[in-house]
Structure 1
Amino acid sequence: MKEEGSAACPALFEDQDFPCEDSSLFHDSSTPIARLQGDIAWLRPQEICQSPSLFPTNINLAHAKQGLLGDCWFLCACTFLLNSQHLLNKVLPPDQPQWGDSRYKGSFRFCFWQQGHWTEVTIDDRLPCIDASLCFSCCHSPSAFWVALLEKAYAKLHGSYEQLWAGQVSEALVDLTSTVTERWTPGDSEEEQQTGHDSDQIRRKRLDLKLLDPVKDICALSCSTHSSHGGAGDPGQYHALTVMEWLDVPKVSGGEVRLLRIKNPWGRCCWGGAWIWSGAGWSSVDPVCASDLQARLSEGEFWLDEDEFMSQFDDVTVGYPLSEDGHLKSIYTGNLLKHNHQLLGRWIKGHSAGGSRNSSSYSSNPKFWLKVCESGEVLVTLLQHQKWRNSDKYVQVPLENDKNTKHQHYQAIALHMWKVEKKRFNLTRLLSKPPCTSTHCHAYEREVVLRTQLQPGYYLLIPSTYQPQAEAHFLIRVFSSSSISFSALKSPAPSLPLTTDGEWETSCFQGSWVEGRTAGGSRNFLSHWQNPYFPFTVFDEAVGTSGVNVRITLHQSRPETDLHPIGFHVYKVPEGKCEQTAAREQDPVANCTPHCYMQDISLDCSLPPGYYIIVPSTYHPDCSANFTLSMARRIHRKVMKSQERLGRAIQEVSHISVMQS
């Protein structure tokens, strides 16, 4: 029974948005923690130990130790926060009242980088326990609780603890630091062997530790196994570990051996290679040096050499270093990428979800201008938002039913870039040429990265999904060592219906609803006919084609936070009649209603030959806004297609941590 609060002893905060119930623990009970139902008690730190604190005095004991939850991918990212006080302060704002402080209220605030900005998450400090001990992640010090509380805040962000089971280190690193990450393969890449003509891009996917030498002390590095190798030191299937440091050690016989210190979030050593305590490798280096290196090991850490590292791990995640003022540092050149911009975008079915270059609708994808003012290194990333439906401020539920498909949360995405000689250009002609640089293949990644050296000039950047009509929100980030400007194309390209026969001819019209003049509102109001109208003709050549032959899209130029409800009607005009008069006398032949609070609305039509007008409107009269009306009509011309394929980069494996006794 809970004690009633009083003025002398106020009640501690209890988070109603993330309650101490099974709903906060389990999503669909599909993971091994489902067997814990009924055994978990929620306790505050002062109920677990006598003198709780966020951090221990000995920083080595502040590192994360994994519990019964398979979130090693998240804990690897937590490890890097301890190496950077300014990043740690971002995630866990300092000076929050702790236990024993008169200001302590039983709550803590955390911040996560989401969709381009830092999002605050507040939790209470009641933590899942079994037999009065934390059952999920903790610190090596039993009286330090920053990891357990951060894990709870991250679980709240995702909807439940169970939704942290299995994930990518790269995603957690971005959420905790706002950095950019790349995933590389140790040793020879299978992808490189099969697609040698893309060697410049694929070479980036093959790990070369020499490349990282200039930033090895400040970049984040994590390694993962995808399957059991069956060796004596096998860390298990689907497990992520942290690379704490690496250094070149002189050998007694001459030359050097590169050694890497690895931390296992299980908190125990799991390796049996040549560099364990009694391993044969230590006899090849000076005994004093060997003793010093062995003394550096904390609980759960071990050394291995570069050959072992390359052969035993399947995946390496590299996080770009961040300066204290938030600037990215290139892992390729060491350059500080001081100039950066970011823009939100969206692929909308029927309007801007054009698919890959294989599709005739590719040109309808969102487009962005990149102006490079002077030569420099440029990094562009495309980060798609996970396919969640927000049910409240934090809790998130997948859009799909519980099918547990491999890539249910992400689309396969890519970036392509073209050099444009003049700001006015023929889009069709430009897109028929190969891009100057691209990510080459679409990948089921949350974020794809394009890095290149660019000369001054204008560049057209097009993000795309592999499948046409695939909807998602995304964020494009651009980082550069030299001055740049970045903007979205102001006039959205018209949407093109998907087809395999013929081509589509498009037209764009700019218009305005002006209060007291042309903002007539919907057909419910007599002023409806004051709205602008736009004539078009469907020609005889469309006869004989089946299905849709006209697609109309209306885009209002207002921020998504201040949209009008919009719609439009299509009227057929008999020959010899005045457009407005004829339309008033008959019902529309097609309409896009009811009016919706959306930036873009679209309608597919199958119209016989004839003369028509489109009347776009807001629902209420006198709602001022600019708009763009795009129309596509099917014509008979063959389309030249790009033979683009889904690359092997999409064949990902989640890093699932399997607890072993």
Structure 2
Amino acid sequence: MQRSQDGCCLFQDPLFPASLASVLGSRPFRPLEPLCEGLSWRRPQDICPCPRLFPDKAQEGQVKQGILGDCWFLCACAVLQRNESLRAQVFPPGQPGWTEPGYTGHFTCRFWQFGQWVEITIDDRLPCIAGQLCFSRCQPEDVFWLPLLEKAYAKLHGSYELLWAGQVADALVDLTGGLAERWTLVESTGSPDTRIGISTPESEVFKRLMDLKDRCLISCSVLRSMEDASELGEFHAFVVTDIRDLGCINSEELVLLRIQNPWGRRCWNGTWREGGEGWTKLDKMDASDLLSQVQEGEFWVEKAEFLQRFDEVTVGYPMSEAGHIQSLHTDRWLCHTQQLSGSWVKGQSAGGSRNNSSFPSNPKFWLRVSEQSEVCIALLQCHKGPGNKRPRLDWAARSHRCVYEDPEASSADLKEKYTPAVGLHMWKVEKRRFNLLKALSESPVAGTKCHSYDREVHLRRILTPGHYLLVPSTFLKDVDGQFLLRAFSTGRIHLSEIKPLPGTAVGCMEELPTGAWERVQLTGRWESGKTAGGSRNFTSYHTNPSFPLSICDGLGNQNVKVLLRQHCCDNEINAIGFHVFQEASGIPRVSSQQEPVASCVPHRYAQEVSLQCTLPPGQYRVIPSTYHPGQEADFTLTLATRIERKPRQCRETLGQVLQELSVSHVMKR
């Protein structure tokens, strides 16, 4: 048992012991297992004679990756070198070092997890091979903040091996409690052969990076498999340490980026490598100055080469010492913040995406904006499993689906190990005259581009004062999960949850509100070349099936619910929707210029879609359609009309109100 200078026994962490179990964990995917022969655990004073926690100058503590594939985490760690207040948040000050009184062999680190800072205490026994650190280390090698932080992060996850592959953005959030955005440098098809120079919001990438380079961490990544990988490696993350605009050289704008490779070696064979032909374009003094700034593992890349060889940029939002976040887009400070947690519960509040008629059952939140503001809403999903364990990320998949490399796992196991795709949509509504189904049938004022398998997704908009309805959702319905909704704003805001009324249900036709309803069920078919006219975007729309709907006079406006269900296999689902048109007097036909009085759009890839609305007396036409012409399917259209009758009183029941259900019930007597 080792002892400190004052004779105390050095701490040994029983929850994360110095054993192979802390390295490998328990999952079948074990890339470290063949690399751990001869593994031993040593304290820093056993590795070098004079260990230090931090270097004298923060910039001198360059990160260097070992045999563990956690470049994503190490790149994010570089943010602590740029922000002293963040470093003090992650490493609480006052912890005695190895040569100081009070040292007992343990250190405490903090990580931001699901809305709060969590303390993780570890002993300082670090994994070594041949007497040297085998995972991360600093340059110089007598500095130990990085391997200690890596060990605490591994304990948080459950093992070192569970840090194998991930997203820089996730680690940045865990280390700062802030936000991080990912900007793609390739087209949405993900083809590395079709580069762009870059589209919105990426068209502003370099302008923004030039402004942000001294205030936040910038990382870039290669997201290609071994077949397409270059000397930069596959699925690898780097740090952008500097960006220089050198003006026009030979009538061409020249922008250079200095890139740091966590591997700790230069891996660049481009035109601006050391000794490359690119340097001949510059004055010798300027070239010498730029080359003198390159440290071990760094290299310069020209803008065009950067766009060609890298696939993605991750940028962490700058943070003030007070914890305020600065916008990446406008430079304004988002000083007003609020957060609320929620959950998707199968059969209750896990309604799935807008493709599903059960979408309105998802959790709902009010966002009150008091003054025109730049607002950023972040939806963070909580990972399942003990120790907040996270799956290995397949960066090659443009959907960013999380994948476990476990060929023996059952389909049920794999379902639990997937991180669900999540999205967030926002509607502006009049709170006092708010009708949920009507509001959700309209197009949202903002929404995520798609449901993403990322841990966190964002919405950013300039919002005018008023009330906004926020609906977070998973792509598939009945997917359980917890989430945290965070709102950041330049102006005053208030976020609150909308509590569902007891016993309320939204969605299918069988769950109509109480009262008497008259139903009509109609069948039809979309047939290519005949009745499959597609949506109103196409001139063939008028060929779609058309069904009459009559609202009788004398009863005033009536509640109507329309449900359209297509009959096909799940893998053959079409995008479907419908419009309700009012007939012109005596003309049972809809003109091509006529606007609908109610619509169930956008068209959704779902077995069924529905809409509840209120219509005045008159004659109407309901026209169901697929989005594209020529798509065939049988369908059922159900029309339900609320029968409004005055309640009757009966003296024999002492004035209790009785409600007549329907005429047919009376006639049976």
**Higher RCO (C-alpha under 8 Å, 6+ residues apart):** 1
Give the secondary structure class of the aligned counterpart of 1:67. coil
Q: Which amino acid aligns with 2:275?
A: S
Change in 2 beyond 3 A, CA 1:232/1:19: closer
**What does 1:483-562 align with in structure 2 at a 5 Å threshold?**
483-491=492-500, 496=505, 502-505=509-512
Higher alpha-carbon deviation: 221-230 or 66-75: 221-230
Change in 2 beyond 3 A, CA 1:357/1:6: closer
Counterpart CA distance in 1 for 2:562 and 2:389 is: 49
Give the secondary structure class of the aligned counterpart of 1:638. strand
Q: Which amino acid aligns with 1:422?
A: K
Q: Which amino acid aligns with 2:262?
A: P
Counterpart CA distance in 2 for 1:290 and 1:7 is: 51
Aligned to 1:308: 305
Aligned to 1:439: 448
Aligned to 2:532: none
1:638 aligns with 2:563: yes
What is the CA-CA distance between 1:276 and the residue it aligns to? 0.9
Change in 2 beyond 3 A, CA 1:498/1:39: farther
Unmatched tracts of structure 1, length 5 or more = 194-200, 508-536, 545-634, 647-661
1:217 aligns with 2:224: no
Change in 2 beyond 3 A, CA 1:45/1:229: closer
State which of 482, 485, 488 in structure 2 corresponds to 1:479: 488
What is the CA-CA distance between 1:190 and the residue it aligns to? 3.2
Give the secondary structure class of the aligned counterpart of 1:473. strand
Counterpart CA distance in 2 for 1:30 and 1:506 is: 51
Contact 1:64–1:265 (8 Å) recurs in 2: yes
Aligned to 1:320: 317
Counterpart CA distance in 1 for 2:48 and 2:85 is: 29
What is the CA-CA distance between 1:299 and the residue it aligns to? 0.4
What is the CA-CA distance between 1:203 and the residue it aligns to? 2.6
Contact 1:370–1:487 (8 Å) recurs in 2: yes
What is the CA-CA distance between 1:10 and the residue it aligns to? 1.2
Aligned to 1:19: 17
1:98 aligns with 2:102: no
Instruction: Give the structure-1-normalised TM-score.
Output: 0.72
Counterpart CA distance in 2 for 1:406 and 1:246 is: 43
Deviation readout 1:215-257 (Å, 9 max, x if unpaired): 3321321111112688996211111001111120134535531
Q: Which amino acid aligns with 2:485?
A: I
Counterpart CA distance in 2 for 1:262 and 1:406 is: 38
Aligned to 1:603: none
Q: Which amino acid aligns with 2:47?
A: I
What is the CA-CA distance between 1:386 and the residue it aligns to? 1.0
Contact 1:92–1:111 (8 Å) recurs in 2: yes
Deviation readout 1:9-29 (Å, 9 max, x if unpaired): 111111011011122111225
Structure 1 segments of 4+ aligned residues over 6 angstroms from their partners: 229-233, 394-401, 539-542
What is the CA-CA distance between 1:213 and the residue it aligns to? 3.7
Q: Which amino acid aligns with 1:472?
A: G
Contact 1:364–1:495 (8 Å) recurs in 2: no
Q: Which amino acid aligns with 1:357?
A: R
Give the secondary structure class of the aligned counterpart of 1:482. coil
Contact 2:82–2:216 (8 Å) recurs in 1: no
State which of 378, 381, 387 in structure 2 corresponds to 1:381: 378
State which of 453, 456, 464 in structure 2 corresponds to 1:455: 464
Q: Which amino acid aligns with 1:33?
A: L
Counterpart CA distance in 1 for 2:328 and 2:266 is: 30
Counterpart CA distance in 2 for 1:217 and 1:160 is: 34
What is the CA-CA distance between 1:288 and the residue it aligns to? 1.5
Contact 2:239–2:260 (8 Å) recurs in 1: yes
Aligned to 1:600: none
Counterpart CA distance in 1 for 2:280 and 2:415 is: 46
1:238 aligns with 2:235: yes
Q: Which amino acid aligns with 1:25?
A: V
Contact 1:263–1:302 (8 Å) recurs in 2: yes
Q: Which amino acid aligns with 1:322?
A: M
Higher alpha-carbon deviation: 60-69 or 225-234: 225-234
Q: Which amino acid aligns with 2:321?
A: E
Aligned to 1:259: 256
Give the secondary structure class of the aligned counterpart of 1:171. helix
Counterpart CA distance in 2 for 1:165 and 1:97 is: 31
Q: Which amino acid aligns with 1:10?
A: C
Contact 2:64–2:264 (8 Å) recurs in 1: yes
Counterpart CA distance in 2 for 1:220 and 1:77 is: 7
Change in 2 beyond 3 A, CA 1:203/1:460: same
Percent identical: 45
State which of 320, 326, 331 in structure 1 corresponds to 2:328: 331
**What does 1:14-413 align with in structure 2 at a 5 Å threshold?**
14-27=12-25, 28=27, 30-190=29-189, 203-204=200-201, 208-227=205-224, 234-254=231-251, 256-390=253-387, 403=409, 408-413=417-422
What is the CA-CA distance between 1:137 and the residue it aligns to? 0.5
What is the CA-CA distance between 1:186 and the residue it aligns to? 1.4
Counterpart CA distance in 2 for 1:377 and 1:174 is: 20
Q: Which amino acid aligns with 2:329?
A: Y
Give the secondary structure class of the aligned counterpart of 1:184. strand
Contact 2:59–2:81 (8 Å) recurs in 1: no
Counterpart CA distance in 1 for 2:357 and 2:4 is: 69
Give the secondary structure class of the aligned counterpart of 1:369. strand
Counterpart CA distance in 1 for 2:5 and 2:139 is: 37
Change in 2 beyond 3 A, CA 1:377/1:60: closer
Unmatched tracts of structure 2, length 5 or more = 193-197, 393-401, 522-559, 565-599, 607-669
Contact 1:233–1:270 (8 Å) recurs in 2: no
Change in 2 beyond 3 A, CA 1:645/1:109: farther
Give the secondary structure class of the aligned counterpart of 1:102. coil
Contact 1:366–1:493 (8 Å) recurs in 2: no
- Size of the alignment, in residue pairs? 512
Deviation readout 1:379-425 (Å, 9 max, x if unpaired): 111000112235xxx88899999549599341111111001123341
Q: Which amino acid aligns with 1:20?
A: A
Larger Rg: 2
Give the secondary structure class of the aligned counterpart of 2:82. coil
What is the CA-CA distance between 1:209 and the residue it aligns to? 1.3
Q: Which amino acid aligns with 1:381?
A: A
Contact 1:268–1:301 (8 Å) recurs in 2: yes
Give the secondary structure class of the aligned counterpart of 1:128. strand
Give the secondary structure class of the aligned counterpart of 1:152. helix
Counterpart CA distance in 1 for 2:5 and 2:276 is: 63
Higher alpha-carbon deviation: 20-29 or 250-259: 250-259
Higher alpha-carbon deviation: 132-141 or 420-429: 420-429
Give the secondary structure class of the aligned counterpart of 1:247. strand
Give the secondary structure class of the aligned counterpart of 2:431. coil
Give the secondary structure class of the aligned counterpart of 1:11. coil
Counterpart CA distance in 2 for 1:493 and 1:414 is: 26
Contact 1:188–1:206 (8 Å) recurs in 2: no
